Structures are given as C-alpha cells and as structure tokens.
Chain A
C-alpha cells in the first residue's frame, strides 16, 4: 500500500517532467482547458442560453461529441481482441495505449454529458431515484462507468506489475476483465445507439441500423485514432512501438469503414427511395429544404472525406508510404466526427415533430466548452503516456530512481536508457 502511494506520487511528479515539446504541448492544452472551464462557468451562471440550443434543437455539440467519444472508447477493444484471443504478442503493448485512450475518452464523455445538463448541481438525484431499466440513459450511466473502472483496472494493474517487476497473474487479474471489457465495449456503444433509436417520435433516429452503424463507424474512427497516436508516441518518446501493429489496425479500419459506408448507403436508399414524409430530416441533411441548408456543406464534406479515406485504404499497403495511411486516418477521424455530430444528432431535431424548421449553430461559448473538454482529455492522455512509457521501458520501477534529465542533452526523454533516438 505504501509502495502504491509512492508509485502514484512518483507518477504525479513525473507528469510535470519533460522536454520543451512536452511543456509546449501541455501548456497549450492547459490554456485551452482553462478557457473551456471559464466558458463553462459562464454557462453555469447564465444557463444553457449561452449555447446555440433551443427548444427546437435541444441537443447539439455536447451530445454529438459525447456520442463520438463513446465510439472512440469502445474501439479500444478492437485492439484487445487480436492481442488476447489470437495471442498476437506484438499488440500487447499497443493494448495498454488503446485502453488508456479509452479511459481518457470516457472521462471526456462524462464531462460532455455533465456540460449538457441544465442542473449539474442535482447530479446526485441519479443515485436517489434511478429509472432503471426503463430509461436508456440510466443504462448508459451504468455501462460507461463500469467500462471506465474496467479499463482503469486493466491498465493500472498491468502498469503497476511492471513497475513492481512482479509477474502478472494474468489468469486471475487480467484475462477475465479483458474478456468482460470486450463485451462491455460493444455494450457501451450499443446502449448509446439505443438512446437514440428507441425514440418513436424522431423518425430519423428510429431505425434499427443506427446501432450497427455506430459500431462500424466507431471501429473505424477509434483504431484510426490509435494509428496516429502510436506514431506520435513512437516519434516523441523513447518507446519502441511495434509498428507492424499498424498493418493489423489498418485492416480493422478498412473492414469497419467498408461496413459503415454500406450501412450508410442502405439508410440513404431506404429514406430516399421510399420518399415518405419521414425522410424530411434526411432530405434536409443532404440537400437542404428551402432556405434551410446549414448542414449540407458539413455532410458532403464528411462523405467526401470518408470516400477518399476508403479509397486510400484500399490501395495496397506499403510500410514506407505510411503517409497514405495517415492521411486516410485523419480524413476518417474528421469525417466520422462530422457524420456523427452534425450528421446524426442535429438533423433528427430538424424539422421538429410539429414540422417547424429551426436551424442550429453552436455559439462561441459552447465551442470553447467543447474544446476545453477535448484539451482536458488530451492532457489526461498525455500524462498517461508520459507515465506508461518509462514504466514499460523499465526506466521507472520500484527499485530504480528515474532521473528525467541528464544535464548534457536537452532532448531529455531519449536519454533515459533506451538506444532509440529521435527519428529525423
């Protein structure tokens, strides 16, 4: 126990160490996070009127980001499956970074939901009268929090055993939880999809394809996010990432994205070929109705990005031309973000159930809150990576003292015992 608190203390200390790039990055994130906090305080004082939301479009940027991040969190599991079920050793390291990403993403999810509440001061009412199992939102509260705990346990246990140089008791403390987490990851995204698809009064959402589409798009965007992250970690730290893992991740993204585009096509076909009144939201989204065209440029840029990304992914993969893969991943991350945000949450409210057209545009304050939460999440993730890398490298363990900066070199973290230097 004493050793554990010492571990936490050292992690805390370590998160304030780094080279100038680390400081610049962390400083930038902190400034944005504080700006977001400031914007949120304004929202607390003046109410949600500081956002672009109205009685007509009652959910916006916050819930859109929440939905997207649930997907990112769920996708961590796509790395776990090959690593543990197919015993792919190369992925074991990657799994930790994936699960840490899940932790950061879930924290962001919870923050986005909190930001969306009109009365965050009454959060404890959830514990006093919990409308379970009727309300899908209560299901979401359960699955998200359990998923957070599961991932914290798996990462924490694995990192701490390495730190203590103990042998992992994998059968007892890791594997059961990993398998639960796999099922759970699917559940968090399914439940979040049911949140929307269960509403009969919103024909745009009330479709059985929503849940599979959520999962497909998440398993494209999530691993794409991890592909980029792994390369950043590889470049910025002394940790040698198994870059072969990229190949497998690329395949996951490719398959998931293909399914996603197929499901999208099925949905678009059903909406437009039927041509019934209930496709008005879809018409509004893709083509605009009358002078109401706010979402049209968004959705078409998303579609374009997704299709280009898919095309790039289908090109034969060559390890050297990793920029092709990276471009595809970045396009995917942005494309799916738009598709899930502007493309899925907002149009369900337009027109209203009574046929009124009111468009939605987030305000500056709302955008700042959103950016603040993203910055906070990235800050968390950076700290996680900052701690995990030296532990995995064996530079930080209970019997060594990790001295961050040798006096000669400014590129501090590379000098911590590994042979690897900063790639040019």
Chain B
C-alpha cells in the first residue's frame, strides 16, 4: 500500500535537480501536479530537464580538458612503464624509443638518447674555490643550455649568491644582484647547486622512490615516475630542486640533442628536476658544463676515490667546508679558499705558509 504513495510522489522525481545544478527541482516542489498513478508527464519532464541540466553543467565544468595537449594525455604505454630500477634492457630500449618519437614530434629533431650507467669505482665530488669565483653567472647559463631546461619560465639549477665580505651566512646573500661588471670589491660570490648529499633528505621523503642515489653518488630523478608532490623540494636544505609548474618551453634551436634518460632529456609538466652533475657527460669522462665554462677555474670536479684527481688534492690541501654541516646531510659539494691549510699542506711544497 505504501508503495503506491512512494511511486506516485511526483516531487521525488523533480528533486533530482537539487544536486544536479540546474535548479529545476527546488522551487516547484511545493505545488501540486502529482497523481498517484506512477510517473506523471510533468514529473517526467521535470526529471528529464533536471538530469539534462545537471549533465550539461558537469560537461561545461569539464570543458577545459579539451585543451589538454596530446603529450599530456595518459597512454597505455606510459601507464605501464616500469620504475627505472625494474626495467629490463628491452623495457629501457622501448622507453627510449618512445622518448625519441616524442622529441621528434615536438622538436622535429631525432635525439641521441641513451641510458648511461655509472662507472665502477667512481664517486663524484665537486669543489668550488670561493677566492676565485667572480660571480659572472656563466655557469648558470651554460647549465641551462646543456640540460634542456625550460626557457620560459626559465629553470636554473645554479643560484649565485653575492655575499658581503665578513660573512659566510648564506642568509646574508643577495640573490638578485645586477651589476654592470663583476666582481664587486666589497663582496664575494657563492654559487649553490645540488650538493648530491651522501645522506640526502630529498631521497628519504619521496613517497614513490622516484629519486635515489646512484652508486657514483649522484642523486637522480626518474621523470617518468615522479608524481609531483614536491615533498623533496620542501625537504631540501639547499633549495636545489626545481618543479615544472608549467609545461616546459624550449625552442628547437636551443635543444641539446645529446641526452640521457636520467639527466637532460626534455621534462614534462608537473615533475621535479635538479642538477645531476651533467651525468651524461661526466660518466663518459667529460667535465660538467658549469665547470667547462668557468672563466676563472673556480670549479673542480672529479673522482674522490682517485687520490690523484683534482678534487682529492683540494680536499687534502685546502681548508674546505660544506654548507649547513649541522644537518648531517654529508654534501659532496665542497667550498674552499685559496689559503693553504698549514697542517694538510706541510708535507707538500715547502714554499707554503
């Protein structure tokens, strides 16, 4: 008996509009027009318009998705791609092939992209001579040219601080100094980039293991695995990580076609990136782009396990320090001054001190 009442309740049908966003159901609900004989014409019309209105509103709110670029659309291939460490050689080859095709489609150049593995018995370390650095920012721009960063908005891995003499506190540094000529007599210059920590806070916090430390000490990112939560960016004490807030834009003329999977291949929107010690160069015996361009030789790079390397010599003979040593991140990026360490250098050239 009750069932009839339920079915005949015309208002219940029109009520659909209440949460469909069409406004069809609300106000008319108090008026009559219902019978006790199933769905009336009126309630049918009302329910129809309400549903249609709701769907239209939903479609309208989803409409920006029409502008989604084809590269951003999820594909089965991308969906099934494995984490870097789980890829077999064939998996990697097919991923590289996909990237080649994507680059070709976007930039009309076929890139030379490989997956370059670390060398055995190598641990990379960087050393930077604060006495020599003149703050010309050539390293900043060489890095951008080498690593296919987005040009607009421009992403830079290296930040040069202009420091007042008498302070090593980076909070005193000026990030946006703009002088007709450098260096300024009252300042010295401190470039900061990823320190490739041996105890990296960024790796620890990543929820999906999209970033990790390689055997040669370089912390890398799998751009195809990163979910873009930016927890690593919050965790980094050196502000070394950068996020692609917008789709990276890079003119074809500026594209560096020598690429590797974990370093300078073009990035997508919504992923993290950072300095990787130019691993596509350094793992093949070359120097990083920032070092090569430095006009004053302030930058030293090499294998710290090789006692004859430049960096080993610097660590042995100079007074070196790392930034924020109290955080125990154990950076592989050292700063030093030209003054020689009287103790460390005693056995070397007698002319010192």
Contacts and interface: CB of A to CB of B under 8 A. Distances in A.
- Size class of B's contact patch? 35 or more
Contacts of A51: 245
Interface string A47-61: 111010111101100
Contacts of A403: 2, 5-6, 9
Contact of B236 (A18, A126, A353): A353
B61 A37 contact: yes
A121 B153 CA distance: 23
B18 A26 contact: yes
Interface string B319-339: 000001001110000000000
Given A15-B19, A20-B27, A125-B225, A47 B209 contact: no
A401 B6 contact: yes
Interface stretch (B96-104, B164-172, B285-293): B164-172
Contacts of A401: 2-3, 5-6
Interface in A264-319: 277, 280
B21 A48 contact: no
A123 B209 CA distance: 13
A23 interface: yes
Contacts of A35: 61
Nearest to B54: A30
Contacts of A37: 58, 61-62
Interface stretch (B63-71, B111-119, B298-306): B63-71
Contacts of A15: 19
Contact of B231 (A137, A353, A355): A137
Given A119-B271, A354-B192, A404 B12 contact: yes
A26 to B, nearest CB: 5
A172 interface: no
A202 B270 contact: no
Contacts of B245: 47-49, 51, 53-55
Q: Pick from B5, B11, B27 the residue with the most CB of A within 10 Å.
A: B11
B301 to A, nearest CB: 22
A20 B5 CA distance: 21
A135 B15 contact: no
Nearest to B226: A119
B117 to A, nearest CB: 20
Contacts of B243: 48, 55, 58, 118
Interface string B4-46: 0110010110011111110101110110100000000000000
A417 interface: no
Contacts of B16: 16
Contacts of B137: none
A397 B11 CA distance: 21
Interface in A36-76: 37-38, 41-42, 44-49, 51, 53-56, 58-59
A351 B204 contact: no
Contacts of B268: 119
Nearest to A122: B227
B230 A16 contact: no
A2 interface: no
A141 interface: yes
B269 A47 contact: yes
Nearest to B74: A121
Given A58-B243, A199-B235, A200-B237, A355 B18 contact: no
A278 B285 CA distance: 41
B19 A117 contact: no
Interface string A7-19: 0000001011111
B228 interface: yes
Contacts of A198: 205
Interface residues of A, number: 79
A121 B72 CA distance: 9
Nearest to B16: A16
A301 to B, nearest CB: 26
A229 interface: no
Interface string B243-285: 1111100000000000000000000111110000000000000
B230 A351 contact: no
A129 B231 contact: no
Contact of B12 (A17, A46, A58): A17
Contact of B65 (A27, A41, A355, A407): A41
Contacts of B83: 125, 128-129
Contact of B26 (A13, A20, A31, A199): A20
A116 B229 contact: yes
Contact of A45 (B19, B67, B226): B67
Contact of B235 (A27, A130, A131, A201): A201
Interface string B170-209: 1111010000000000000000100000000100111111
Given A41-B62, A54-B245, A353-B238, A131 B201 contact: no
A136 interface: yes
A22 interface: yes
A161 interface: no
Nearest to B238: A353
B201 A199 contact: yes
Nearest to B65: A41
B220 interface: no
A410 interface: yes
Interface in A191-237: 195, 198-202
Interface in A137-177: 137-138, 141
A134 interface: yes
Interface of B: 2-3, 5-6, 9, 11-12, 15-21, 23, 25-27, 29-30, 32, 57-58, 60-65, 67-69, 72, 74, 79, 82-83, 153, 159, 161, 169-173, 175, 192, 201, 204-210, 225-231, 233-239, 241-247, 268-272, 324, 327-329
28 contacts: A17-B15, A22-B18, A23-B18, A27-B21, A34-B57, A38-B63, A41-B63, A45-B72, A46-B247, A47-B246, A55-B233, A113-B229, A118-B228, A119-B270, A121-B79, A124-B79, A125-B83, A126-B207, A126-B208, A135-B231, A137-B205, A138-B207, A200-B329, A202-B235, A277-B171, A353-B239, A355-B172, A410-B30
Interface of A: 13, 15-20, 22-24, 26-27, 30-31, 34-35, 37-38, 41-42, 44-49, 51, 53-56, 58-59, 113, 116-126, 128-131, 134-138, 141, 195, 198-202, 277, 280, 348-349, 351-356, 379, 400-401, 403-405, 407, 410
Question: 5 nearest interchain CB pairs?
Answer: A118-B228, A201-B237, A118-B270, A23-B26, A355-B171
